[in-house]
Structure 1
């Protein structure tokens, strides 16, 4: 090695003075924290998590949905959704029935108690969404939702939810 050309550890080290406020992933995590915190403030008394709500809402929207399709709609994996269904079923909110066309498949439907729970959760959940977007103008809300959809749809192959046209 020639004299005077030796690299120091500082020369080889990557820059470490990056501000978190410049990273969209950091903001995405913080936005998720905020959305969950607001949801929990509004819905806590009903003891239903955001994923349980999404799952119950989807089952009520599509009674008889299979677990694989349900997982795709809520943007989760089948194992996680299976656990959520277990918890909802234990509470008497949904039931699983054998699919007539494939005995290995279970179709999930809401119970009357599940439909009533959803009706009770909806106003609270909607209030959390309203609070979440409250700092934005109506035009900004629409743009925020549009931009989130662009990011999600353009990266659909990285998630469990296929892009929507």
Structure 2
């Protein structure tokens, strides 16, 4: 039987699932359903982004983005506006309600990050960030090719 070379990706997956679970619990009071906070933060940070670009940014399929956008719109967190440059496209714009909860979401993400990096030196924190960014860049090309 083939043996796994390293459990790094399993550990990263466990870390991501645990943090998302805790965030989902915290954000339930904001009427945000599972994982919607990720979409909401990126729309707040990229006001006017279209659904296709949001999908690419988050590395999720278009149907997942469409469902999240629909739910966020229904909950009053975002609005859809026709693009002034291309009438076929819709731009996603955060509402005042979204901007208000954005601050809470970022505070929670910062708290989670502090927990993850406790007992790390500043140099270790920079190294982890650099290495994870490098891993993301390595898989970016493969992900893009799989979507073409």
Pair in the same fold by TM > 0.5 = yes
- Matched residue, 1:48: 32
Counterpart secondary structure, 1:104: coil
Q: Which of these residues, 75, 85, 102, is aligned with residue 118 of structure 1?
A: 102
Shift of 1:46: 2.9
Is contact 1:59-1:65 (8 Å) kept? yes
In structure 1, runs of 5+ residues without a counterpart are: 1-13, 161-165
- Matched residue, 2:41: 57
- Matched residue, 1:144: 128
For normalisation by structure 2, the TM-score amounts to 0.81
The CA deviation string for residues 38-95 of structure 1, in whole angstroms up to 9 with x for no partner, is 4345544334357422322222222211111112222222221111111111110001
Is contact 1:56-1:118 (8 Å) kept? yes
Larger relative contact order (C-alpha < 8 A, sep ≥ 6)? Answer: 1
Larger radius of gyration: 1
Structure with bigger helix share is 2
In structure 2, runs of 5+ residues without a counterpart are: none
Shift of 1:123: 1.6
Cα distance in 2 for residues equivalent to 1:50 and 1:58: 15
CA 1:92–1:41 in 2, change beyond 3 Å: closer, same or farther? closer
CA RMSD of aligned residues (A): 2.4
Counterpart secondary structure, 1:118: helix
Q: Which of these residues, 100, 112, 132, is aligned with residue 116 of structure 2?
A: 132
- Matched residue, 2:91: 107
Counterpart secondary structure, 1:30: helix
The CA deviation string for residues 123-146 of structure 1, in whole angstroms up to 9 with x for no partner, is 222212211222422222211111
- Matched residue, 2:77: 93
Shift of 1:24: 2.5
Cα distance in 1 for residues equivalent to 2:117 and 2:91: 35
Counterpart secondary structure, 1:143: helix
